[in-house]
Amino acid sequence: MKNLLNNSDRKQIIKLTDSLLEDAQRHWGKMNANEMLCHTADQLRMGTGTTKTKFVGNFFPEKIFKGLVLAGFPTPKGKIETVPELKQGAGETKPKSFKEYKLELIR
Length of the chain: 107
| Letter string b/e over residues 88-104, b meaning 16 or more CB atoms within 10 A of that residue's CB | beebebeeeebeebbee
Query: Nearest 5°: CA angle at 7, between 88 and 51?
Result: 30
Could you read off the pLDDT of 76-101 as tens digits, one per residue?
A: 666 667 777 777 666 556 668 889 88
> What's the pTM value of the predicted model, to 2 decimals?
0.65
Mean pLDDT of 32-49: 85
Q: What is the DSSP letter of 5?
A: T
Q: What is the mean pLDDT of the chain?
A: 80
Say what percent of the chain tops pLDDT 90.
11
CA–CA separation, 17 and 3 (whole Å): 14
pLDDT digits (tens, 9 = 90+) for 48-58: 888 777 776 67
d(C-alpha 57, C-alpha 22), whole Å: 34
